[in-house]
Each structure stands twice: as structure tokens, then as C-alpha cells.
Structure 1
Amino acid sequence: MKLKFNPLSLVILLAFSNCQNDNHNPDLPHDSTFYIDYRSLKGLPDGVAVIELDPEAPNFGHISSKLELGVGVLPHHLYYNQGADKLYTTALGGSYLYQIKTEKDKNGQPKLVNATPIDTGENTVGENLFFTNDGRYFMTFMGGAGGPKDGSIGVFNASNNQLIKTIKAPVQANPNQFIMYPHGISVNEEKGIMMVTSTIHPDLTTGKGNTCTLLDMNTYELKETYLVADSQTDMSSPVEVLLLRGKFPQYALATTMLGGDIWIAPYNAATKKYDAFSKIFDGSTQGLGWTLEMYIDDNSRLYVSFADPGKVLVFDISNLPQLKLLKTLTADKGAHHMVFFKTKKGKEVVAVQNNLLNIPNLNSGTISIIEIETGKTLGTVDLRTKYGILPESIEGTNGPGSYMHH
């Protein structure tokens, strides 16, 4: 299996990826150096760090730069803008969204400089971002304005980070079409639609979701709320959604955090919506749970992380709705976000960040570097032991470290 990170192919991808500009360049000197969001386990400020992840490098596992954001900020997801010239992190606390300034040192290595808080209005608990080609970005706020069944989507101007609009649709107002506890978001600009998941209340106890909601990305009107669960009482907690686009089969995929499954819905050109979701992969039959992130390479391989017991499953999606399992990679408990790169000797690897919100038994606090072809773990960085921190997310230092995320 071949992961392609050719800059030319990535430029071509921009015609349909719409997620974020992927200028991942294997020829640049710090290609195996990555940004991580982290939380302190010692009561110190949380922040962002630069870490070397090539097991063949003499400084493997070394943190070369750190930027502290504050105690309890809990930075959560790292993103590049559409041009890959601005770096952002969402956060569960603090100001909920920050733009991160970076520079290169005299050796051309990335260096973290400062963070600028962005005003998110009444919106709290920042989760996912999605940058579009028309100068906007969308952000999910799992906490919304703070109510027990709240949640919102912020629409921002990508040039100045100004909040344009807050999209709210309380379940109390319409139990058939609503936004509640939104976490995952995906956009298909060609079709003018976006979808968000309904996951879980930020305190992890007040309430759970089991739906995904489709919206018009231009009018911000809700089009449909879909059940993504075995029943109305099955609180599966859909966590990520991916609207496949461009050369890929036109389906929506969703992962269920508490369901432990992968769901699929076909796009219906007549209704300009998706048909009902159905379960395409049942994690419990494989001893898997806590399904989290989805990544796709340009060879129609889908990588899905299962935090329990810590696996990454690789599927062939070229014949959807058939999902063919190709291989299973072993990470650590809490397997979550991923980046892809080549080692100095040319081995194609995936680095898996193993931690989910410091939830017991899902918080290994490690990063596993796994050779994709053989499934062999080439190295592990134990951030918990070595630095007293837990990794929350991971991203490339030359642009996105993945081909298509959401």
C-alpha cells in the first residue's frame, strides 16, 4: 500500500478536498517534526509543542519548542487554514480558539512564538474547524451557550477571524431537526452542504447524542437530522463525520464514540440530501470500541482509530457501500488522531496520538509510530512519563499531516 504525499497531487486535490490545504512536503528538513496540543498532568499550563517523531532520528521524542496557553485551557484540535499559512488550535477551556504564530529557527526548524485568542462570542467548548474556499471557516461548539442541551456552530471570516454568525437550533424547539453537542463537522462545497454530529455534553454526563444534522452551508438552514444509532434510545454519540467528495464515492461516513461503529449514508441527487444512515462496521464484533477519527489517503484507504483497545483499522473504500478491511494496526489505549510521513530511510508510517480527554483506560499518553506496510511499531514516545503531559492532538509542521481528514 502506498501513501502519496506528492506536492503536485496535493495541489490537484485542492479542487475537491475543501478541508484544508495540504502542502505536506517530504523534502523539507523538518518533515518528521510535528505540532501537538497537550495537557499538563502537573497543574502547569497546557499548550502546544514541537516534537520529533522519526524513530530513526537521533532526537526522536525530543520536544524542541513549547508554547504555554494557560492552566485549564485544554487545547484540543490543531488546524491549518485553507492556504496552510495560519495555524489554529481549538480548546475546551480558556478562549476556546487561538491562532498560533510560528517561525523557523536558524536551522529551518519550526518554533512556536505566541497565541492570539479569538473571540467566539457566547460559544463555548471549541471542537472542530472546517475551512472553505470562500473565505469562511466553521467551528463546532459542543457547549453552545452553556445549557444542558445546548450546542452551536460558529461561522468566522477567515481573513480577520471575526465571528460572522452563530448557528443554533435547539432540540427543545424542534426535536426532529436540531443541533446539540456538535463535535464533528464536514463540508461538501460543491453540493453546498455541511453536516455536524451530536456527540455528548461537555461534562460527559448531562446528556448524549445519537444523530447527525445536515445543513445548507450558505443559508445555514437545517435540512435533516439523521439517526445514527441502533434505536432512538441507543445513545451512540456520533463523534466524527466525513462527507466524501471529489473522486471518492459520494457517501457520508460517521463514527460513533460510544457505539463503537462506522455508519454510512448515500448521497441522493434527487433530494440533494443523504438517505438514512446504516451501520457498515460493528466494532463489537471485533472487540473494538470508542470509534474516533477517520483519515483517507488518495488510494481510497480509510484509516479509523478505535480508542479501545487502541487500534487503527485500514479499509478499502473503493467499492462503497462495501467496506473491506485490509489490515489492523496496533497502537495504545486511547488511539485517536493521526499523521502520516516517511522516515529518513523512506519507511511509510503513521503516528498515532493515544489519549482521549484523559479518560481512564483511554489515556496512555503516548504517540505510536507504526510502519503501515508491516504493521510493526517502530517507536513509541511516552509523553506521560517523559514530560508529565498528555497529547491531545497532532498536526504537521509543513501543513496538514494527512491527505483528507474531514
Structure 2
Amino acid sequence: MKLKFNLLSVIILMTFSNCQNDNHNPDLPHDSSFYIDYRSLKGLSDGIAVIELDPEAPNFGHISSKLELGIGVLPHHLYYNQNADKLFTTALGGNYLYQIKTEKDKNGQPKLVSATPIDTGENTVGENLFFTNDGRYFMTFMGGAGGPKDGSIGVFNANNNQLIKTIKAPVQTNPNQFIMYPHGISVNEEKGIMMVTSTIHPDLTTGMGNTCTLLDLNTYELKETYLVADSQTDMSSPVEVLLLRGKFPQYALATTMLGGDIWIAPYNAITKKYDTFSKIFDGSTQGLGWALEMYIDDNSKLYVSFADPGKVLVFDISNLPQLKLLKTLTADKGAHHMVFFKTKKGKEVVAVQNNLLDIPNLNSGTISVIEIQTGKTLGTIDLRTKYGILPESIEGTNGPSNYMHH
């Protein structure tokens, strides 16, 4: 299985948008050190930390570097740019988007140096990023300008981080084609399209969504808004979307946070859009809820986290629209983001960050390191108890630690 990316893969990264091939180098220093976004549980600053995740390392669970961003910043998701030479974090508070400066110490250990806020204009509550090959990046803002049914997409210049455009399409203007509470985003550059989800109002109570919206990548015009729910009144809250591309079957996949399901839509080469979404996996039949993140390796394996009760399901997607369940990995409540790497002894593992917005019963505050082949948990770090923090997201220190995410 090939999951790990490092800086030797830059050429491949530039060729395949947001798909990283494996040139895993077992001799690369500190290949099992990872960045985590975290929130403080003690009323102190939230920030980013470097943590060792190899259970075979003597310093397993040790935080070697921290960068404080401020009280209430709530850093949310870490991303590398297209060349993997710049690191960013989105945030639910504070300035919503930051570029992170890092260095290596004399031992080659990653070190966090500083964070530079990026002007996001009127856009609030930063969620996901997607970098394209043409020098842009896109960011979903679940809060938009702050209205009860708001939400927006920011288009940025990747060279200078300047906001180029804010894409808005209020549901009040057109209830059939709109952007509201966008969270997940995925792009297929070859086809010139992107899709965002409609998830939930940032306060988690004012409103919820049940759709995904397809846009033209270049004109920013809306092409279609799709129902991703059992009915118009089913507030399923689609959270992540993935437009499969390259060598993979040409489908759109979406996870529903409150539905707890996986949905699929085939690409239609005639209309140049996707056909209707249908449910391909019903989480409730497996005792699962809160379907969240999707990761794909280069062997057509799909990893999906289910925050309740804390599982990662591994599927075969080589015969879509048939989705074959291969195995179930047990993490902790709040299973969310993942990173993939090899331990010092060569075991293929996935580390799962177990926390979703500190929601009760979905906020274990741990990181589980699981051997993929056997399903055995090799180690667990309890950040709540050990450091008084909750992990919010996780990313590699030598470049993106996944093959395909969004």
C-alpha cells in the first residue's frame, strides 16, 4: 500500500492535482513527526504543535514544538500548497486563515516558527482549502458574511495570498442553485468543475444543509445544486465531497455528517455535470453515525471516518458504483482526520485524530495509531489528559500525508 508523500514527490504532485504518489523514504528524518491543530481546554491559546506518532519511537506522544495562535482562534485544518513548500491552517475564529512558517532544527526536527494572518475580506469561519495547478486556491467559509443562511467561497492568488474573488449565491435569491454553509470542497481541474457541500450554520443550531453545489472552476457560475439526503426535509448535513479524478472511476462521493452515510453521483460526459446523488452506504445499518472524512490510496482503497462510535471503514472503489467494505478499524469517539505512514519497523499504519469540534461524546481528544493490515491499535495518545488540549486536525511534516483527500 502506498500512502506516504514526501518532498521528493513534488513533480508528481504538480502533475496530479491534490494526488500525492508515494516516494516514501524510510531514511527521511522524523518521518513520523506530525503537525496538529489544537484547541486549549484550559482557557489558554489555541495553536499548532509537532508531535511524534510512531508507537515504536521512545518519544511516542511527545510534543517537540508549539506555536500559539491566540485564545479562541480554533485552528481547524492544515494544508500544504501545490508545491508542498508552504503550510497553511484554516481557523473557525481569529483571522480564519494563516500561513505557517516552519524550520528544521540542527537534528532535522521540524520546528514551528510563526503564523501570518491572511486577509479573507468579509468571509468568516474558515473551513477547507483546495489548491489548483494554475496558481489559485479556493477556501470555503461556512459563516460567509455572518448571516443566518450565509456562506461563501474565497478565491485566492496562491503566489501572494491575495483574495481575488468572493463567490456568493444566497439561497434566498435562488432556492434551486445556491451556496449555504459550505464546508467540503473538491475540484476536478481536467473537467473545469468544483463542488462544495452545504453542512451546518457555524453555531450548529441556526440552520442545516442537505445539498452539494457544482460550480464552473473558471467562470464561478453555479451549474447545479444536488439533494444529498433522503428527502427535502432530511437535514443530512453533507460534510465532505470528493470528485474522483485521474485513474479513478469518475464519480462524486459525499459523506453526510448527520445522515451518517456515503452518497455517490456519476459524472455525465454529455451534460458535463453529475447525475443525481444516491446513497451507496447506510451507516445506520452498521451502527455508525457522523460520517466525516474521506481518503483514497493509490490502490483504490477508500478510508472513511465515522465519529460515532469512532471507526474507520476501508472500502474497495475499483468497481464503483459498487462499494465493497473490506475492513473496519476501531479508533475512538470523534474519529475524524487521518494520516498514513510507516513505523520504524515498516508497519503500515493510519493515525486517526479523534475529536469533532469538542461536541460531547465526539471529543475523545486522542490520536489512535492503527496497523492497517491487522487492525490492531499500536498506540493511543490522550492529549486531553496529557496536555489539556484537543486535536482538531493532523498533517505530515514532510508534505501531505495522504494520497488523495478532497
User: Please, what TM-score do these two structures have when normalized by structure 2?
Assistant: 0.98
Partner of 1:37: 37
Contact 1:14–1:21 under 8 Å retained in 2: no
SS in 2 for 1:159: coil
Q: Deviations over 1:320-342 (max 9, x none)?
A: 00000000000000000000000
Please state if 1:68 is matched with 2:68: yes
Distance apart, 1:163 and its partner CA: 0.2
Partner of 2:169: 169
Contact 2:307–2:354 under 8 Å retained in 1: yes
Contact 1:22–1:400 under 8 Å retained in 2: no
Distance apart, 1:310 and its partner CA: 0.1
Change in CA separation of 1:169 and 1:177 when aligned onto 2, cut-off 3 Å: same
Contact 1:17–1:404 under 8 Å retained in 2: no
Contact 2:17–2:133 under 8 Å retained in 1: no
Distance apart, 1:4 and its partner CA: 6.4
In structure 1, runs of 5+ residues without a counterpart are none
CA distance in 2, matches of 1:130, 1:239: 15
Identity level (%): 93
CA distance in 2, matches of 1:218, 1:26: 40
Mapping for residues 23-34 of structure 1, pairs under 5 Å? 25-34=25-34
Distance apart, 1:27 and its partner CA: 3.1
Change in CA separation of 1:74 and 1:22 when aligned onto 2, cut-off 3 Å: farther
Distance apart, 1:16 and its partner CA: 2.9
CA distance in 1, matches of 2:207, 2:65: 38
Partner of 2:328: 328
CA distance in 1, matches of 2:8, 2:314: 25
Contact 2:312–2:329 under 8 Å retained in 1: yes
Distance apart, 1:14 and its partner CA: 4.4
Contact 1:148–1:207 under 8 Å retained in 2: yes
Distance apart, 1:356 and its partner CA: 0.1
CA distance in 2, matches of 1:288, 1:94: 33
Distance apart, 1:10 and its partner CA: 7.6
Change in CA separation of 1:45 and 1:150 when aligned onto 2, cut-off 3 Å: same
Change in CA separation of 1:17 and 1:292 when aligned onto 2, cut-off 3 Å: same
Q: Deviations over 1:334-376 (max 9, x none)?
A: 0000000000000000000000000000000000000000000
Change in CA separation of 1:149 and 1:21 when aligned onto 2, cut-off 3 Å: farther
More off after superposition, 54-63 vs 5-14: 5-14
Change in CA separation of 1:2 and 1:115 when aligned onto 2, cut-off 3 Å: closer
SS in 1 for 2:208: coil
Distance apart, 1:24 and its partner CA: 6.0
Contact 2:332–2:366 under 8 Å retained in 1: yes
Q: Deviations over 1:184-225 (max 9, x none)?
A: 000000000000000000000000000000000100000000
Size of the alignment, in residue pairs? 406
Contact 1:36–1:392 under 8 Å retained in 2: yes
Distance apart, 1:20 and its partner CA: 7.2
Distance apart, 1:15 and its partner CA: 2.7
Distance apart, 1:25 and its partner CA: 4.5
More off after superposition, 18-27 vs 37-46: 18-27
Q: Deviations over 1:149-192 (max 9, x none)?
A: 00000000000000000000000000000000000000000000
Contact 1:26–1:341 under 8 Å retained in 2: no
CA distance in 2, matches of 1:6, 1:28: 9
Contact 1:75–1:93 under 8 Å retained in 2: yes
Contact 1:19–1:132 under 8 Å retained in 2: no
Contact 1:20–1:83 under 8 Å retained in 2: no
Partner of 1:278: 278
Change in CA separation of 1:46 and 1:3 when aligned onto 2, cut-off 3 Å: closer
RMSD, aligned CA: 1.5
CA distance in 1, matches of 2:23, 2:182: 28
CA distance in 1, matches of 2:361, 2:142: 23
Q: Deviations over 1:50-83 (max 9, x none)?
A: 0000000000000000000000000000000000
CA distance in 2, matches of 1:373, 1:20: 21
Q: Deviations over 1:232-290 (max 9, x none)?
A: 00000000000000000000000000000000000000000000000000000000000
CA distance in 1, matches of 2:270, 2:298: 28
SS in 1 for 2:307: strand
Q: Deviations over 1:98-140 (max 9, x none)?
A: 0000000000000000000000000000000000000000000
Distance apart, 1:305 and its partner CA: 0.1
Distance apart, 1:403 and its partner CA: 0.6
Change in CA separation of 1:6 and 1:203 when aligned onto 2, cut-off 3 Å: closer
User: Please, what TM-score do these two structures have when normalized by structure 1?
Assistant: 0.98
Distance apart, 1:383 and its partner CA: 0.2
Please state if 1:109 is matched with 2:109: yes
Change in CA separation of 1:287 and 1:217 when aligned onto 2, cut-off 3 Å: same
Mapping for residues 113-132 of structure 1, pairs under 5 Å? 113-132=113-132
Change in CA separation of 1:19 and 1:144 when aligned onto 2, cut-off 3 Å: farther
Distance apart, 1:18 and its partner CA: 3.6
Change in CA separation of 1:39 and 1:270 when aligned onto 2, cut-off 3 Å: same
Change in CA separation of 1:8 and 1:250 when aligned onto 2, cut-off 3 Å: farther
Distance apart, 1:8 and its partner CA: 7.3
Distance apart, 1:2 and its partner CA: 5.8
Contact 2:5–2:22 under 8 Å retained in 1: no
SS in 2 for 1:285: helix
Partner of 2:292: 292
Contact 1:243–1:253 under 8 Å retained in 2: yes
Change in CA separation of 1:41 and 1:222 when aligned onto 2, cut-off 3 Å: same
CA distance in 1, matches of 2:345, 2:258: 39
